Amino acid sequence: MTTELKKGVFWVGAVDWGLRLFHGHELSTHRGSTYNSYLIVDKKVALVDAVWGPFTAELIENIKEIIDPAKIDIVVANHSESDHSGALPEVMRLAPNATLVVSKRGAESIEGHYHRNWKYTAMKTGDKLDLGANSLVFVEAPMLHWPDSMFTYLTGHNILMPNDAFGQHYATAFRFNDEVDQAELYEEALKYYANILTPFSAQVAAKIKDVLALNLPVDIIAPSHGVIWRKDPLQIVHRYQEWAAQKPEQSAVILYGTIWQGTRRMADAIGEGFAEAGVPYKIVDVAVSDRNDAITDIFRARTVVLGSSTMNQNVVPSIHPLLGEIKGLKFKNKIGAAFGCYGWSGESVKLLEEHLTASGIPVACPGLKCKWQPSAEELEACRKFGRALADATKKPGSPS
Task: Tell me which residues in 226-255 interact with ligand FEO (CB under 6 A).
Answer: none
Q: Rounded to the nearest whole angstrom, what is the least distance from the CB of residue 198 to ligand FEO in the complex?
A: 14
Q: Is 347 in the site for ligand FEO (CB under 6 A)?
A: no
79 has catalytic annotation: yes
Dihedral (Cα; 383, 389, 390, 393), 10-degree rounding: -170
Single-letter code of the amino acid located at 192 = Y
Binding flag, residue 188, ligand FEO (CB under 6 A):
no
Catalytic annotation present for 81: yes
Residues 195-224 binding ligand FEO (CB under 6 A) are 224
Please identify, among the stretches 77-85, 151-159, 243-251, 322-330, the one whose residues bind ligand FEO according to the rule CB under 6 A. Answer: 77-85
The helix-helix angle for 234-245 and 201-213 (nearest 10°) equals 140
CB of 200 to ligand FEO, least distance (A): 11
Give min distance, CB of 28 to ligand FEO, in A: 15
Q: Which is nearer to ligand FEO, 55 or 146 (CB)?
A: 146
- Is 105 a binding residue for ligand FEO by CB under 6 A? The answer is no
List, in order, residues 6 or more apart from 355 with CB less than 8 Å away.
306, 323, 326, 327
In whole angstroms, how far apart are CA 327 and each of 250, 299, 307, 319, 361? Answer: 21, 13, 16, 13, 9
Rounded distance between C-alpha atoms, residue 92 and residue 144, angstroms: 26
How wide is the angle at C-alpha 327 spanned by C-alphas 321 and 333, nearest 5°?
A: 130
Q: Which of 16, 42, 49, 81 binds ligand FEO (CB under 6 A)?
A: 81
- The pair phi, psi for residue 306, each rounded to 5°, is -110, 135
CB of residue 189 to ligand FEO, shortest distance in Å? 14
By the rule CB under 6 A, 265 interacts with ligand FEO = no
Contact indicator for 292, 27 with CB cutoff of 8 Å: yes
- Catalytic choice (16, 58, 140, 164): 164
Which residue number places its CB atom closest to ligand FEO? 81
**Residue 79 or residue 264: which is nearer to ligand FEO going by CB?**
79
Beta strand pairing call for 249-257 and 281-285: parallel
Contact call for residue 49 and ligand FEO (CB under 6 A): no
Specify whether the CB–CB gap between 67 and 45 falls below 8 A: yes
Q: Are 254 and 305 in contact (CB under 8 A)?
A: yes
| 34 near ligand FEO (CB under 6 A) | no
What gap in Å lies between CA 347 and CA 391, rounded to an integer? 27
Q: Does the protein bind ligand FEO through residue 175 (CB under 6 A)? A: no
CB of 371 to ligand FEO, least distance (A): 47
If the CB atoms of residues 185 and 349 are measured against ligand FEO, the closer one turns out to be 185
The vertex-263 CA angle with 276 and 310, nearest 5°, equals 140
Q: Examine residue 83 and tell whether it contacts ligand FEO (CB under 6 A).
A: yes
Does the protein bind ligand FEO through residue 16 (CB under 6 A)? no
Query: Nearest CA to 99 among 77, 80, 120?
Result: 120
Q: What single-letter DSSP state applies at residue 42?
A: S
Q: Which CB, 83 or 378, lies closer to ligand FEO?
A: 83
44 touches 98 (CB < 8 A)? no
Residue 325 makes contact with ligand FEO by CB under 6 A = no
Would residue 164 show up in a list of annotated catalytic residues for this protein? yes
Kindly name the residue from 42, 58, 79, 353 that is annotated as catalytic.
79
225 is catalytic: yes
Instruction: Give me the catalytic one of 16, 38, 42, 145.
Output: 145
Residue span 137-166 as binding mask against ligand FEO, x where in contact by CB under 6 A, dash where not = --------xx-----------------x--
* 333 secondary structure, DSSP code: S
| Residue in 49, 63, 65 with CA at minimum distance from that of residue 94 | 63
Minimum distance of ligand FEO from residue 121's CB (angstroms): 21
| Residue 79 is a binding residue for ligand FEO (CB under 6 A) | yes
Catalytic residues: 23, 79, 81, 83, 145, 164, 192, 225
Binding residues for ligand FEO, rule: CB under 6 A, are 79, 81, 83-84, 145-146, 164, 224-225
